[in-house]
Amino acid sequence: MAAAAVRNGSWGAPLPRAFYLRPAAEMARDLLGKVLVRETAAGPLAGRVAETEAYLGERDEAAHSRVGPTARTRVLFGPPGRAYVYLSYGLHCCLNVVAEPEGRAGCVLIRALEPLAGLEEMFRRRPTARRPRDLASGPAKLTAALGVTLEDYGADLTRGPLTLREPSAAETFSIVVSPRVGIARSVDLPLRFSIAGNEHVSRGRGGRLKPPARSAG
């Protein structure tokens, strides 16, 4: 068999707390290639982070934290490495990772995953998905595929059933930087990061590149 379309499903240790203790934009870039793992009764569901967006604690009119802490956003102002899950358009859950030291509200929205393990279960949770690239190529798709809900609000991502981990083998890739998607303010900031050429990156402004020239068919 030639190179498989689906990678081998394995991963390493959880990212340490220090990984999250820095500016959101920097953390968003480094999150690419890491592995999000969800433990379920049906076994682990995992995906490689392919696309992220940073939301800044200050001077960012697109961030939920722009008006200061509220009942919904209080976890953003707490310690880093925890999950900020919110309900979008009344029906979709989106997963963010809290960055920066306690008191500052920067965070990173995970926008797309490349499924690594538990694909059969993910297809079960995403009935409209036809191909692997439909499973987690969007912020609300990936939470549905992995079963991340509002119950995960505030979860510690360095331990427990929902973790971010090192990949089993580091791979080199180029990073595409572009404006964020689906917002109405602070639209020009270059705070969206994605793995160049990765087919799981969601649609949107500047998201998809022209396919690279292929050899051997």
Q: Which is nearer to DNA, 98 or 116 (CB)?
A: 98
- Least separation, in Å, of the C-beta of 169 and DNA? 28
- Least separation, in Å, of the C-beta of 215 and DNA? 20
Residue 88's contacts (CB-CB under 8 Å, 6 or more residues apart) are 94, 139, 140
Question: What is the three-class DSSP state of 41?
Answer: coil
Q: Which is nearer to DNA, 91 or 170 (CB)?
A: 91
- Least separation, in Å, of the C-beta of 140 and DNA? 3
- Least separation, in Å, of the C-beta of 88 and DNA? 4
Are 152 and 84 in contact by the 8 Å Cβ rule? The answer is: no
- Which residue ranges make up the site for DNA (CB under 7 A)? 53, 55, 62-65, 67, 70-73, 84, 87-92, 94, 96, 107, 109, 126, 128-129, 134, 138-141, 180-184, 202-203, 208
What DSSP element (H or E) covers 25? Answer: helix 24-31
Rounded Cα distance between 192 and 16, Å, is 23
In DSSP terms, 192 is beta-bridged to: 53, 178
Residue that the structure tokens 């297809």 belong to: 123
Q: Which is nearer to DNA, 13 or 214 (CB)?
A: 214
Q: Which is nearer to DNA, 160 or 182 (CB)?
A: 182
